[in-house]
Amino acid sequence: MSLWEAILGIVGMALITMVTRAFFMIPEKEIPMPDWLRDGLRYAPLAALAAVIVPEIVMTQGELIGTWKDARLFATATATGYFFWKRGILGTIVSGTVVMLALRIGLGW
């Protein structure tokens, strides 16, 4: 790839990114959206997060984990329990991380 092709690729990706992110800010009036689409877009961030996080928790090297002795399972359970108990994001992250580190470093999981 030449230098000009690389520059053209970077500029093109930057333009595409700007247009897609500013798509809803470009028009002066609000774009009419059907109610079903507006309701569906509320769940998009949660679905994207689940699509990224769940495979990381239950899979290793592209295969499902085969043992219950995996620190990720206990860290996830602890963090989930904490979140439903206190509803705090920072505590959820800290509790899950503490359990994960304790099991990985302490027990060698």
Instruction: Give 70's strand partners.
Output: none
Average pLDDT over residues 17-40: 86
pLDDT of residue 1: 81
Q: Where are the domains of the chain?
A: 30-106
> Which pLDDT belongs to residue 30?
81
> pLDDT of 66-109, one tens digit each?
888 999 999 999 999 999 999 999 999 999 999 999 999 999 88
Cα gap 35→7, rounded to integer Å: 41
**pLDDT at position 90, please?**
96
Cα gap 86→64, rounded to integer Å: 31
